[in-house]
Amino acid sequence: MDPVRRVAGRALPLARANVDTDQIIPSHWLKRLERTGYAAGLFEAWRRDPSFVLNDPRYRGASVLLAGPNFGCGSSREHAVWALRDAGFRAVIAPSFADIFRSNALANGFVPVELDARLVEDLIEAVRMDPSTEIVVDVDRRTVAAGTIAGSFALDDYARTRLLEGLDDIALTLRHDAAIAAYEAKRPEWLPRVR
Amino acid sequence: MSTLSEKIWERHVVRRAAGEPDLLYVDLHLVHEVTSPQAFEGLRAAKRPVRRPDLVLATMDHNVPTNDQRPEEISARQIDAMARNAREFGIRCYPTGDPEQGIVHVISPQIGLTQPGMTIVCGDSHTSTHGALGALAWGIGTSEIEHVLATQTIWQTRPGTMAITVNGELPAECAAKDVILGIIARIGTAGGNGTVIEYRGSTIRALSIEGRMTVCNMSIEAGARAGIVAPDDTTFAWLEGRPYAPKDELWERAVDEWRALATDADAAFDREVTIDATTLRPYVTWGTNPSQSVTIDQRVPDPESYREDGQRDSASRALRYQDLRAGTPVRDIAVDAVFIGSCTNARLEDLRAAGEVLRGRHIKRGLRALVVPGSMRVKKDAEREGLDRVFREAGFEWRDAGCSMCLGMNPDILRPGERCASTSNRNFEGRQGPGGRTHLVSPAVAAATAVAGHFALPSDLS
């Protein structure tokens, strides 16, 4: 996983609440066996509407998505993060995230920025007024800035370190192999083993 | 002074250090064909083995056709990949055609693999289903699947705790589905975010294990990481004698341990909600998220009645998508299709409830109706009771096991504009196929609706 210290770029004002992962990437895309190649599936149904914000040329090349609360709810599909990443996004700013989406984002070096709802609205307003507005997400300092708008966001220390260092979780965990083996030695004997 | 979920959590901590999430041991890892191929590919690339193949069970459910047609080429590739990965990494897999194949959340409890006090993960958000037996079970993404395959552990920040207490006798024609739809209508789709919900109270205690599975299944629709019910005599009676349940002296010891898991009387939850079951009615969702529901006696709401901007916008969008007009009585809404199935409502009890309504009746002419048992074993058990004949004679298609029309990724999809009464769990835009319109209901309401051609209760039928 590549480390991520900072995301800076223009933003897409999606501004909808409860965006579910079926909208982010419809299920027929989940038949693929790869981790990449999902860009064309991003918001596939909504994109059929020419007035959908992702079709607005003024926002082409945006790397930050601005959304309403409970972003990424529903299915556990990591493909939702892959699709956003493949389409050039590096961070989503929203008042809240669904739990599994948040874990999936962090596992891919994709930044879930949980920001006060009023600040998210200010950012949406600013980007609608001027699509060239640059938003800077600083992972190290846990801050967001765009022109005169500035705020800090919640990100626990461990998640922050993982993003900054681009850690491979599995390699990290395998360092605790002795602890895992010790735990395994004392598991209750009635626990089932698949035959 | 701990809650049920905290006790299970504490028993699974492999490593705890300041500034880190806990490293938890995973007792059972369930795998299916759709979210796992990239995880196995990752293991291959890093030349890592599966640490505990004996704690992993795989099946094929999301992508598979449930009639005798062959999967198209791209689905077939994914199905083959599951079989190949299971072989290569030494994992037990129940492929299509196997008598144990079925929806992953139906088969594991059925063979007794899901037991109280266990930690269970699966690359599927409806893993919360297993909480019905007192297991702590939650959905994970593909990177986490790879991590669990390699280490049999997972890093997790401690969730909050939420108690939802439902007391009182369920009114006639109300099912477990109406309990959970009623809960979601009350707390919203993000009401449980960051928490494990423990379902408590006399109504929950009176539910069968199958009903508890329906309730726990949709915890994710309230945003919760997991849902759980304390194991009790109903749980033990249900589990005893199943193929993977402990036997003899081990059974006795296990039951003692399981009883001790119940939330201590003086334990505190971060949040508590109480619901009076006697006020519940059969629910029908009208919108495009599972909290947008009303009871069958009500009308489609007016978006202007919502005070909050976000909710109002979301309701207007939903009515446009669903092609519904505010003020329409729910019973006046006609449907084109009825789907009885999914990890929410495709167990034997669900098929019996629907079959009861359909016996001696026929579905409305022109309507498409599918019943898709949750597992091949459920199918066989239902056939032993003659339920297949009841469904067929009523005009339903009687299928093999799989996720089918719940999620629009196998041949069973709605056509654009089609409206469906569905016993599944999600009414998102396009969930059952692009442009399809979903209304979530219980199995009995789905069956009555199939007969009437519009939303109906069994007691509405002449």
Residues of B in contact with A75 (CB under 8 A): 124-125, 407, 426
Q: pLDDT tens digits, residue range B93-129?
A: 999 999 999 999 999 999 999 999 999 999 999 999 9
Across the interface, whether the CB atoms of B62 and A30 are under 8 A apart is answered yes
pLDDT at A168 over 90: no
Q: Cβ A173–B434 below 8 Å, yes or no? A: no
The answer to whether B143 contacts A169, with C-beta atoms less than 8 Å apart, is yes
pLDDT tens-digit series, residues B279-322 = 999 999 999 999 999 999 999 999 999 998 889 999 999 999 99
Q: Angle formed by the axes of helices B348-358 and B443-452, to 10°?
A: 30
Q: Looking at the domain assignment, is residue A174 inside a domain?
A: no
* Amino acid symbol at B433: G
CA distance B455 to chain A (A): 26
Q: For chain B, how big is the Rg over CA atoms in Å? A: 21
The token pair that represents B436 in the structure block = 């399809």
Share of chain A above pLDDT 70, in %: 100
- The sign of the dihedral angle between the CA atoms of B176, B177, B182, B188 is positive
ipTM rounded to 2 decimals: 0.97
- DSSP labels for B426-455? ---TTTTSTT-EEEE--HHHHHHHHHHSBS
> Between vectors from CA B372 to CA B367 and to CA B377, what angle results, nearest 5°?
155
Instruction: Write out the residue range of the structural domain in which residue A34 sits.
Output: 6-166
CB–CB contact A30 B409 (8 Å) = yes
Asked if the C-beta of B151 comes within 8 angstroms of chain A's C-beta atoms, the answer is: yes
pLDDT, average across residues B67-72: 93
pLDDT, position B449: 99
Long-range contacts: B413-417, Cβ < 8 Å, 24+? B414/B336, B414/B337, B414/B438, B417/B323
Strand A143-146 to strand A149-152: parallel, antiparallel, or no bridges (unpaired)? antiparallel
User: Nearest C-alpha of chain A: how many angstroms from B396?
Assistant: 25
pLDDT tens digits, residue range B138-197?
999 999 999 999 999 999 999 999 999 999 999 999 999 999 999 999 999 999 999 999
Domain contains A178: no
pLDDT at A106 over 90: yes
Report yes or no on A187 lying in a domain.
Answer: no
pLDDT at position B308 is 87
> How many of the other CB atoms lie within 10 Å of CB of B208?
14
Check CB contact of A98 with chain B, cutoff 8 Å: yes
Which residues, including other chains, have CB under 8 Å from residue A122's CB and lie 6 or more apart?
A149
Q: Reply yes or no on whether the pLDDT at A139 is more than 90.
A: yes
Out of B53, B125, B223, name the one closest to residue A76 (CB). B125
**A172 in a domain, yes or no?**
no
DSSP structural state of residue B414: P
The CATH number linked to A106 is 3.20.19.10
CA-to-CA distance for B300 and B307, rounded, in angstroms?
16
Q: In the predicted model, what is the mean pLDDT of residues B204-223?
A: 98
Q: What's the whole-number mean pLDDT along residues B49-69?
A: 97
Of the partner residues A73, A78, A173, the one whose CB lies closest to the CB of residue B153: A173
pLDDT at B227 (0 to 100): 98
Confidence of residue A167 (pLDDT cuts 50, 70, 90): confident
Residue A189 falls inside a structural domain: no
CA distance B328 to B205: 36
Task: Kindly determine whether residue A104 and residue B143, on different chains, have CB atoms separated by under 8 Å.
Answer: yes
Query: Is residue B125 within 8 angstroms of chain A, CB to CB?
Result: yes
CA A173, A176, A177, A181 dihedral sign is negative
- In a domain, residue A75? The reply is yes
Please check whether residue B147 is in contact with residue B156, taking contact to mean a CB–CB distance below 8 angstroms: no
B45 Cβ under 8 Å from any chain A Cβ: no
pLDDT averaged over chain B? 97
Please report whether residue A1 resides in a domain.
Answer: no
- B2-17: per-residue pLDDT in tens? 999 999 999 999 999 9
Contact B454, B438 (CB under 8 A): no
> What span, in angstroms and rounded, lies between the C-alpha atoms of B316 and B81?
43
Which stretches within B240-288 are classed as H helix?
A: 248-259
**Tens digits of per-residue pLDDT, B230-240?**
999 999 999 99
Contacts of A188 in chain B (CB under 8 A): 253-254, 257
Interface A-B: count of C-beta contacts within 8 A: 194
Please provide the DSSP assignment of B72-138 as one string. PHHHHHHHHHHHHHHHHHT-EEE-TT-TT-B-HHHHHHHTT---TT-EEEESSGGGGGGGGGT-EEE
Give the pLDDT of residue A107: 96
Confidence at A60, pLDDT banded by 50, 70, 90: very high
Nearest to B330 by CA among B367, B292, B356: B292
Considering only the beta carbons, identify the residue of B27, B152, B434 that sits closest to A191: B27
A26 to chain B, closest Cα gap in Å: 8
Q: Quick one: which of A108, A6, A16, A31 has its CA closest to A67?
A: A16
Number of folded domains that form chain A: 1
Q: In the predicted model, is pLDDT for residue A4 greater than 90?
A: yes
Nearest to B225 by CA among A79, A18, A101: A101
> In this structure, is residue A32 part of a structural domain?
yes
Residue A49 at interface with chain B, using a CB cutoff of 8 Å: no
Q: Rounded to 5 degrees, what are φ and ψ at A20?
A: -95, 160
The pLDDT of residue B462 is above 90: no
Tell me the whole-structure pTM to 2 decimals.
0.98
Q: B220 — contact with chain A (CB < 8 Å)? A: yes
Taking CA atoms, what residue in A is nearest to B82? A33
- Confirm or reject contact between B428 and chain A (CB < 8 A): yes
**Cα dihedral value A134, A140, A142, A145, nearest 10:** -20
Asked if residue B154 lies in contact with residue B144, where contact means CB atoms within 8 angstroms, the answer is yes
Contacts of A59 (CB under 8 A, 6+ apart): A10, A11, A12, A13, A53, A131
